Chains A and B, each alone.
Chain A
Amino acid sequence: MTGVARKQQMVSLNAASAVISRIITSNDAYAALGAYAHADASMQPALEKIALASARLRLIMASAPFAPPSLLDRLAQAADLQLALRLAKNPSTPPEGLRRLLRGAPTEPVRCLIAAHPQADAAILSGLSQDGAIRVRRAVSGNSQTPATVIRLLAQEDDAQIARNVASAPQADTQTLHRLWATADAWVRAEVAAHPNCSPNILAKAETSADPLIRRKCAANPALVPEVLQRLLVDPDDRVRAAAVRNPVVSGERLDQAGDPSASVRRLFARRSRLSPHLLARLTADPDVWVRRWIARNPDVPTRLLEQLARDTSMDVRRGVARNPACPAYLVDVLAADAEAWVRAGVALRPDATESVIAQLLDDTDRDVLSALGRNPRTPHANLVAIARHPDKDVRRSVAFNDAAPPDALIVLLEDDYPLNRALAAGCPGLRLWQIERFLDDPEPQVRFAAAARLARATLTLEPEWRS
């Protein structure tokens, strides 16, 4: 069949329901799962029947993070222990599904999983905070969604783990932190000192604490006033200064200790933005290679200094310059001819690489360079087709990550021997729907899933091609 004939055939299949019907007829669990979330409610029961046909499939679907939430909620309605464990663990299970599981009086391991679930809401968490099992309450105290009222209650428990969780819970309030500071051990107090809700009173004590851990945590507190931070920036302890340098409360322009005796502190300076020109210059000439590696990636570094870094003897420093968005075109040209492939690969990833640079790199044989070109939207279409045919499957796959990949290149990938490459290609927006349809029969489940999801999504949004 010619491409045109195939296309015509698809056009005749343009109604959304036709695709779904086809998936239903194929009786394939993965294609059904792919289509489910995008299918019309009237079609869902039929798809669900296919996707959940056997006990094995139900177990697989319950633990699949890519399963649609509504399907997971369905599974929660009649979950035995094994299904409940999988659903409680699956990050895609929606709050309704979790609530359903709780109504079935689940075992302690399941309750623990729900207490730690990223989609557990305030109501679920406050219910579980009354749980008889300490492990469940610990999990609640460690869930970042747990509301302030619940945190306050849990803070009264005499449990070392809960105390630690509460001290770093985002919702912990000032009073709770105050109580912990007064009663708990040094590790917990250190967490309190780092908490943005902790009182200025505590911060004042923490700043002058004899324990460097507490000063260090205090120096990391995002609620610190600049004056306090300035004092901690000159703390005798390296680790305290390092924490202070990381703290964005003092803006880069006001940092000036680039002569810090500790290389690890200077490395952190090199990572800050808006540093003064004088500081940037000093860091560029730093004897520590890691300082130079960081500064090479710093977008605030002026061209003159980047030029210096582009000549660095360390390959990693030069790679840093190649990855710096502020790197000017003429330096990009220089780095494109670097002796080290990893530096050239850095250039090949640049969305601003010029035609001539790309042309030059296309002669490269290194796989990191070619993979980078495969992802680069500026690589000419003919070359992307060639990369999609490269003998190395990892090089070929890079084209599937390229938003600008033309259908010609993606079609090559759709015929790839390597299943993962086909699966990724089947999900690419660059492909025409008629090109994807036959992947509903692919031997690999993940390819069928990707193809069905893409087709069903297209029918939902009525991509123009379907309306013709």
Chain B
Amino acid sequence: MAELLVIAGQRGGELLMSSLEAITAARGVKQAGDTLAVAIIAADPQAYVGALSAEGVDEVIAIKATDDFQPDLIEAAIMALAGARKPALIVTAHGVDAWSFAPAAAVKLDCGLATDVQALRREDGELVVTRAGYAEKVLVDVDFPGKQTVLLTIRTNVFQPASGSSAPKVTEMVPPTADIATTHEGWKSPADAGGIDISGAEFILSIGRGVGDESNVEQFLQLAGSMGATLGCSRPIADSGWLPKARQVGQSGQLAASCKLYIAMGVSGSVQHQWGMKHVENIVAVNTDPEASIFSIARYGIVGDMFEIAEELENHF
């Protein structure tokens, strides 16, 4: 019989939906007799009980404090909960807030820690989790020999958000005293996208040196236009003056920060170019060289001539 603890989060009074993914992850290693508790700190924690009462949740711990993000407070709460309950596992989402508090909490607890975890399971009764290494080129299975408690942060958008419902016990907890060193002062929203906006574009068609010549660039601008994409490029294209510097994707150019679909044509996929786009979920590579490194990060690959593909694509938009 062990206790599993999930640390849910809210931002400005809104539940962070990744909290529900953390519940799913914890539920996946819950064994018969284990209990699963979810803790939330907020100005009005009771307001989250409904949303957190997903299937498999046995208890919701409501800590009435503030909606402001205060890592010192969360760490103190984790310490207090861990001291009282000795959980075998503490799980939270690998969101930016957890980046601030999870490692500090782990060293204060002297517990096991793994971050950005993509999978967890038991092997011969031992907890083993999987995370990526070497810029996602390998996976690493790690375990936690001799640790009574293990804290995990869970990669977001990997686990399904917990659904279903339960009737958990609701426990009110007095917030622990903590020396709070930070003060919330406000929010700053992302800047408006005007003109060429690679970082704000959701759909980017990018061309590289495979385009060959300046006179060929226009047809890709046109194709991007008819598909509703923003045209991006690799550095040699901007260096040649064929497209403005603002369209360059990569380390010395722009980060395709909001991009969801990135089609790279005639781009070899140098590390510097990848820097600006390899995080994009849907990358399509079009390249005559089947061994071009762009294929190793692409979701879909077309080994072929970018002009032929572009010409054919025009027939569909």
Contacts and interface: CB of A to CB of B under 8 A. Distances in A.
A394 B244 contact: no
A375 B241 contact: yes
Interface string B150-185: 000000000000000000000000000000000000
29 contacts: A91-B289, A113-B291, A116-B290, A116-B291, A142-B303, A216-B315, A242-B314, A264-B314, A271-B219, A290-B222, A290-B225, A293-B218, A297-B215, A297-B218, A316-B221, A320-B218, A323-B214, A345-B241, A345-B244, A368-B241, A368-B244, A368-B245, A371-B239, A371-B241, A393-B252, A394-B252, A397-B239, A398-B239, A401-B240
Interface in B290-310: 290-291, 303
Interface string A375-409: 10000000000000000011001100100000000
A349 B245 contact: no
Contacts, number: 48
A235 B220 CA distance: 26
A320 B222 CA distance: 13
B47 to A, nearest CB: 51
A267 B222 contact: yes
A392 to B, nearest CB: 9
Contact of A372 (B222, B241, B314): B241
Interface string A317-354: 00010010000000000000000001001000100000
Interface of B: 214-215, 218-219, 221-222, 225-226, 238-241, 244-245, 252, 289-291, 303, 311, 314-315
Given A271-B219, A394-B239, A398-B241, 6 more contacts: A246-B311, A290-B225, A293-B218, A323-B214, A367-B245, A394-B252
Top 4 nearest A-B pairs by Cβ distance? A239-B315, A89-B291, A372-B241, A368-B244
B276 to A, nearest CB: 15
Contacts of A242: 314-315
Nearest to B289: A91
Interface of B is mostly: helix
A393 B248 CA distance: 14
A294 B218 contact: yes
A401 B218 contact: no
Contacts of B311: 246
A239 B313 CA distance: 11
Nearest to A139: B290
A297 to B, nearest CB: 7
Contacts of A89: 291
Contacts of A397: 239
Q: Which of A113, A394, A401 has the most CB of B within 10 A?
A: A394
Contacts of A320: 218
Nearest to A420: B252
Contacts of B218: 293-294, 297, 320
Contacts of B289: 91
Interface in A275-308: 290, 293-294, 297
B94 to A, nearest CB: 33
A407 to B, nearest CB: 22
A295 to B, nearest CB: 11
Contacts of A345: 241, 244
Given A89-B291, A113-B291, A239-B315, A349 B215 contact: no
Contacts of B315: 216, 239, 242
A118 to B, nearest CB: 9
B241 A349 contact: yes
Interface string A144-171: 0000000000000000000000000000
B267 to A, nearest CB: 16
A91 B268 CA distance: 13
A291 to B, nearest CB: 10
A158 to B, nearest CB: 22
Q: Which of A246, A267, A316 has the most CB of B within 10 A?
A: A267
Contacts of A113: 291
Nearest to A264: B314
Nearest to B268: A65
A184 B177 CA distance: 77
Contacts of A372: 241
A179 B235 CA distance: 46
